[in-house]
Amino acid sequence: MMKIKRKKILWIRLLVYSLAMGAGTFLVHQKWDEQARTTFKTALLQELQKRDTLSIPYISNWTAISALEEVNPGVVEIALDSGKRKYEIPCFKFENSLVKGGIQRGLLTALLDESPLDADSLHGTWNKLLKESDIFLKTHTRITVWDFQEQPSSAFSKNVQKFSQTDSLLSYYMGFRCEVEATGYASCEWWLLSDWRLLAIGGVCAGIELLFFIFGKMYCYRKNRQPEEVEQEGLPVIVVTVEQSPVYQLGEHTFFDAERMELIKEEQVVKLTPQTAVLLEKFLQAEGHTLSTSLISETLWPNGSGSQERIHTLIRRLRKSLGELTALQIKFKNDSYHLIIPHFIEKNALTNA
C-alpha cells in the first residue's frame, strides 16, 4: 500500500513539474512571437529606408485619397496602357497594410517597382534584430508580388525547406493595391530552454525534487535503522494482564492485545487478522520465540492443509504489521522462524526468508 501511495505521489509531482514547464514554455513562446512580430515590422521598415535615396516621380493618374486614410477604399482604379482598371483590396490586406494612406501606398508601389524587396536581405535584418533582443527562433521570409493580371510570384529566403505554412507569424502588405506581401515565418526549437525563465522554473522543480529525495532517504533510514547490538541478556516480553487472553508489552508504549487482535502504540492501532494474531501470540509464548514450520502448520492448519507458501504468506503479513509500529523482526534459519525483539540479541546469524 505504501509503495502504491509513493508511486501516486511521484506521478503527481511529475505531472505538476510537466505542467509548470509546459506553461512556462507556452508563455515564453507567446512572448517571443509577440516580439518577433514587432521586430519583423521594424526590419521591414529598415529595408524600405535603404531606398530613401531613390528618386521616384509622382504618378498623377492615380486617384489617391488623403495620406491619413484609415478606411479601406474597397476598390482602387489605375490607368494602364490598356486603359483604366479597377482592383479590389481585400479587408485583411488593408488591415495589415504597412501604411494605409493612399498617397503613401502609391509611393510604395513606385518605390518597390524601382527597387523590389529582397527576401534574403529582409531575413538577415530580421535575424539581427531578434538576436539583439535575445529571441531564439528559426526564421525565414517570403516576398510575394501580384502583377496587374492578379498573378502572384514569390521569392523565399534560402532556408525555406525547413518550414511550413503553420509557422507563419504575420504578413504585411504594401503598395497602392496592397500588391506586395512580406511574410515572416518562425519556429521554436529545443534550445528554447536556454531562456532564463524556463531555466529558473526547471531549477525550482529540480530543487523541490531533491528535497523530496533527501527527506525520503532520511525517513527511510530512521524507520529501518536496526537496534544497536549489545552483548547482554535482554529484557523479556512483559505480560501486563492475565485474563482469557493476555496483553503483551512489546516495547516502550507498544502493546499487543491478543483478545482484540490489535497492535497498539499510543494512539496508533494496527488491526491483525485472526491467523496473524494467533501466530504472534505463539511466537511470544514459545521458548526463545522460535517456531518451526511444522509447528506453525500444525497450529494454524490442523487439518493438514498448511503449506510452505501459506506459511510464507502469513509470515510476510505479520512482518508488515509489526513493521508499522514496532522494531520486531522475524528471521528464518534451519526450517524455523525466530521473532527478534530489540532487547534480545542472538549469537547465531539469521537470514530473512
Distance CA 163, CA 158 (A): 11
Cβ density class 340-353: b for 16+ within 10 Å, e for less: bbbbbeeeeebeeb
Distance CA 166, CA 33 (A): 13
Q: Quick one: cell of 48? A: 524600405
* Predicted pLDDT of residue 138: 81
Q: What is the pLDDT of residues 330-352, one digit of tens each?
A: 999 888 999 988 764 443 434 44
> Could you tell me the CA-to-CA distances from 322 to 195, 208, 350 in Å, in that order?
52, 32, 18
Place of cell 497602392: 176
* Predicted pLDDT of residue 146: 93
**How many residues belong to the chain?**
353
* Predicted pLDDT of residue 216: 67
Regions of the chain with pLDDT less than 50: 1-3, 56-68, 190-193, 226-236, 238-243, 344-352
Place of cell 498623377: 60
Distance CA 31, CA 39 (A): 12
Q: What is the pLDDT of residues 77-132, one digit of tens each?
A: 888 888 889 999 999 999 999 888 888 888 888 889 889 999 999 999 998 998 88
* Predicted pLDDT of residue 22: 65
* Predicted pLDDT of residue 345: 40
* Predicted pLDDT of residue 50: 84
* Predicted pLDDT of residue 80: 84
Q: Which amino acid is at 225?
A: R
Distance CA 307, CA 301 (A): 9
DSSP state letters, 157-186:
-TTGGG--GGGEEEEEEESTT--EEEEEEE
For 271, the enclosing helix (H) or strand (E) is: strand 268-271
* Predicted pLDDT of residue 136: 74
